[in-house]
Amino acid sequence: MVRIEFLGPIAKASIHIEANSLRDVALYLQEDSELSVWLDKLAIAVNDTMVCDLDYVLKDGDKISLLPPVCGG
């Protein structure tokens, strides 16, 4: 199981899913209509490191963070 957490303005509680790669996570999230407005704008981190590769292999207990558009300052 991996944990998916939604940061900032995405008002959604963390979820746990079975996933072997970020591709599995993407397929899961694409099924969720609540997330459709966010998907093309989200950056991804695995265990607090930014990741840009859909084939990134996940292991049990990984934390996946979804980061919506930012604006500091």
Partner 1 sequence: MMVEIYNGALDVKAIFSNWLDEGIERNWGAFIPFIGIVREEDGIEALSFDIYEPILNGWFNDWQAKAKKRGAILKMAHSRGDVPVHTSSYMSAVFSPKRRVALELIDEFVEDFKANAPIWKYDIVEGKRVYAEDRSTPMSGAGLMSKKD
- Distance CA(12)–CA(5), nearest Å, equals 8
Is the CB of 11 or the CB of 16 nearer to partner 1? Answer: 11
Which one among 9, 33, 60, 61 touches partner 1, defined by CB under 8 A? Answer: 9
Is the CB of 16 or the CB of 30 nearer to partner 1? Answer: 30
- The residue type of 72 is G
Return the residue matching tokens 């993407």: 26
Q: Is 26 in the site for partner 1 (CB under 8 A)?
A: yes
Q: Is 22 in the site for partner 1 (CB under 8 A)?
A: yes
Which of the residues 40 through 59 are near partner 1 (CB under 8 A)?
40-45, 48-54
Please, which residues bridge with residue 54 across strands?
none
Q: Is 39 in the site for partner 1 (CB under 8 A)?
A: yes
Quick check: 3 and 62 in contact, CB under 8 A? Answer: yes
